[in-house]
Amino acid sequence: MVGQATLCYKGKWNCNTEQYTETNIKPGVHIMTKATDTTTEHSISDSSLQPNPATLKSSSQPFPQQNILNREIEERKRAEQITQTLFKISSAVSSSKNLQELYRSIHLILGDIIDLTNFYIALYSKETGRVCFPYFVDQYDSGQVYSDQINRENSLTGSVIKKAAPVFFDEQELRQRTEKNLIVGTTPLVWIGIPLKRGDEVIGIIATQSYDNPNLFDQMDLDTLVSVSDQIALAIERKHYEQALISSEKKYRNILESIDDGYFEIDTDLCFSLVNRAICEILGEKAENLLGTPCSKFISPYIYSKIEQMVKDLVQNGESGKIIEIEFTPKKGEKRFLEAAFSLRHNESNQVIGIRGIGRDITQKKQAEKNRKLLEDQLQQAQRLESLGTLAGGIAHDFNNLLMGIQGRIDLMRNDLAKDHPHSKQLENIENCVERAANLTSRLLGFARGGKYELQPTDVNRLIEESITIFGRAKKEITITTHFDQKGCIIDAASNQIEQVFLNLLVNSSQAMSGNGTISINTCRIIINEQQAEFHTIVPGSYIRITLTDNGKGIAKEHLPKIFDPFFTTKSLGGGTGLGLSMVYGIIKNHLGAITVESQVNQGTCFTIYLPESSHELPQEVKIIKKTEKGSELILLVDDEEMITAVGKEMLVVLGYKVITASSGYDAVEIVKNHQDEIDLVIIDMIMPKMSGGELFDQLMQINPELKTVLSSGYSVEGDAQKILDRGCCGFIQKPFNLSKLSEKIREILQE
């Protein structure tokens, strides 16, 4: 030892006066040296930054005051470092994007004051007893190893959780735990674990360890980590809640954006404060244009007042919610309807801060309801007409049978009289009355199911022109214009009935005009698709569309649904029967067509008719056989009306035929069985009790498939009659028929 100097770093020894010189070894390390009688200068290389323990031990008596001062300085510096660390950790909560980034920031911040080469953060769930390692940095192990094997009893982490206190394990203690299998993963040389607490509850730990230096950590490092542990726990918890809130808001927004119903929130000023994608699409606006915009911009003042009143009711009555229908007009588009459920929005103090609503666009629903109501009305109207038609058809059938008896007697009387007989003129007048009565039954049959006469391919354009000619004779002051499809408009129809339709519509239009007026009639060929067919209750396919438009006074909106009802009329008593348009409707329906009407008061009316286009060509003109042809064949006449069989037999005898009569289908079957080789023709009435004309035809075909038959009925050829014709019946003759028509039909069938 030289003198009393313990350590000198570029210091000066004063031999005359005993003194102490403070030498700065490095920032924060201060060592005192004592002067002796010899001046000695010792220098220490700059690389020696730590005091030599051996030299310190060989020094003379220590200096307690200086040691206390050094310790205070170190503690002060450590306190400043901890304060800065706490501030940095608090700031990291705001600057970190997510929890993983926060964990890394905590690691880097603590690494500035402690060697944290190996460091991890573990989180503990008291409810499940599970420990997870969201952040794990280690030289040898991975967090997965710890997650799979760790529990409170067999691990260093578990010991901290169990004790709920800081733990410092040195090399010896760690070796003992390894022997007892109380360490998971690679055994370190030193280990520190600090619990992260929320109050008294442990929510996790932070830990650091060294595999190389058992003296890397000391009590001061432990105290430092303990000092910042509460701030770390608070930071993690805050970030967890913040991230959970962001995730919840994102999930909430995703849900709102994914639903088809419109969601919106309105503040106390009734301005939009939150909207989703669906409500933007419904209103036809972008979200940025809606937010802050008063909802009154999109709805009528009436609806706006309803919403205001609804909010007052919700607040005053404490109701949970209300559903109202909102009518609005988007920025681009037609008027739409929104069904919205409203409820109040409250803040944490339970004060009303606005309302929320979930709205569904019900425009299509309302349109569908409107269409359904229209279809229901049409169905009810069709059912009423069908009931009336059934009644009318029965009356027409019986009336035609009566006319058949009268017409037959007229022909028989005329056959016995000379052409210049005085009664011939009277018989002709009676026959004219029968013809007019037959036309009346033709109209009645327009109401009946299948109440159409024999259908023939007919040119609609020709029927319209003929109807205009007849109508124009009485209404010369009305101008009628036409525009026809030149490619031809052929339908399968009873000409007299379709002509009656046009006449009735022309008369109806003329009555809606005061003096001069204009009627326009157009025809064209169109294709009806499934949707259109469903609306009109017809089948899809090719149709002829006829429109008849006038510029008359129009029809009131409340009368439109009723104009096709039987006996409905707006005319004064005695001004009309109300049957004209109902007959039109019945005839069109029985021709498998549809008719619609559009009208506005003082604007005029437009009737649109759809009739199936025919697949047949127009028949060639056939010369009318004026001469009555006779025959000698044997004919079986079957009818349940005695009047018909009596007059029919006499008419057939006059024509030269041999006749057998039967009053029922059963009698006819027995007669055919007994005379099947002799009978040349069977005339069958369609409507008979017990065994109908169709059933009789089927049994006759079983007896003799070659037997010729002809159907006779006061009903039309459509319906059951057509089905029998399709099964092989030779022909059909409509009652009432005269001697000439009967003769023509019989010869036509027998000569085939």
Residue 10 has pLDDT above 60, yes or no: no
pLDDT averaged over the chain? Answer: 80
What percent of the chain is predicted at pLDDT more than 70? 83
Tokens coding 487: 């490619």
Of the ranges 185-199, 583-597, 626-640, 723-737, the best mean pLDDT one = 185-199
Write down the pTM of the prediction. 0.41
Report, as an integer, the average pLDDT of 242-264: 83
Residue 573 has pLDDT above 70, yes or no: no
| Integer Cα distance of 37 and 4 in angstroms | 9
pLDDT digits (tens, 9 = 90+) for 18-43: 333 333 333 333 333 333 333 333 33
pLDDT of residue 150: 63
Residue 452, Cβ neighbours under 10 Å: how many? 25
Residue 701, Cβ neighbours under 10 Å: how many? 15
Tokens coding 36: 């002796």
pLDDT digits (tens, 9 = 90+) for 323-348: 888 887 776 667 788 888 888 888 88
Instruction: Pinpoint the alpha helices (H) of 259-331.
Output: 277-283, 287-290, 301-317
Residue 660 has pLDDT above 90, yes or no: yes
pLDDT of residue 128: 83
| Integer Cα distance of 258 and 500 in angstroms | 59
pLDDT of residue 26: 31
Q: Name residues whose C-beta falls within 8 Å of residue 302's C-beta, 6 or more positions apart in sequence.
A: none
What Rg do the C-alpha atoms of the chain give, in angstroms?
A: 55
Tokens coding 558: 């409340």
Residue 523 has pLDDT above 90, yes or no: yes
Report, as an integer, the average pLDDT of 246-267: 83
Residue 613 has pLDDT above 50, yes or no: yes
Tokens coding 442: 């033709």
pLDDT of residue 429: 81
Report, as an integer, the average pLDDT of 379-404: 75
Residue 546 has pLDDT above 90, yes or no: yes
| Integer Cα distance of 599 and 523 in angstroms | 19
Local confidence band at 446 (pLDDT 50, 70, 90 cut-offs):
low
Tokens coding 340: 């919205």
pLDDT of residue 752: 76
Report, as an integer, the average pLDDT of 122-139: 89
* 709, 746 Cβ separation under 8 angstroms: no
| Integer Cα distance of 354 and 345 in angstroms | 5
DSSP state of 159: H
Tokens coding 457: 């391919």
* 319, 310 Cβ separation under 8 angstroms: no
pLDDT of residue 27: 35
pLDDT of residue 469: 87
pLDDT of residue 451: 52
Torsion angle (degrees, nearest 10) of CA 289, 291, 292, 294: 80
Report, as an integer, the average pLDDT of 89-100: 86
Beta-strand runs (E) in 240-287: 262-267, 272-275
DSSP state of 132: E
Tokens coding 222: 């432990």
Residue 569 has pLDDT above 70, yes or no: no
Lowest mean pLDDT: which of 162-171, 444-453, 494-503, 693-702? 444-453
Backbone conformation region of residue 325, classed left if phi is above 0, alpha if psi is from -120 to 50, else beta: beta
pLDDT of residue 447: 53
pLDDT of residue 609: 95
Tokens coding 681: 């023709």
What's the burial of 392, exposed, middle or buried (CB within 10 Å: 0-12/13-18/19+)? Answer: buried
* 522, 547 Cβ separation under 8 angstroms: yes
Q: Whose CA is closest to 587, among 562, 609, 569? A: 609
Local confidence band at 48 (pLDDT 50, 70, 90 cut-offs):
very low
Local confidence band at 6 (pLDDT 50, 70, 90 cut-offs):
very low
pLDDT of residue 455: 78
* Residue type (1 letter), 166: P
pLDDT digits (tens, 9 = 90+) for 69-92: 777 777 788 788 888 888 888 888
| Integer Cα distance of 362 and 337 in angstroms | 6
Strands 594-600 and 604-612: what pairing? antiparallel
User: How many degrees, rounded to 5, is the angle at CA 242 between CA 240 and CA 246?
Assistant: 115
Report, as an integer, the average pLDDT of 695-709: 92
pLDDT digits (tens, 9 = 90+) for 208-251: 999 999 999 998 889 889 989 999 999 888 888 888 888 888 88
Residue 576 has pLDDT above 70, yes or no: no
What is the three-class DSSP state of 682?
A: strand
Q: 406 or 720: whose pLDDT is higher?
A: 406
Strands 130-137 and 118-125: what pairing? antiparallel
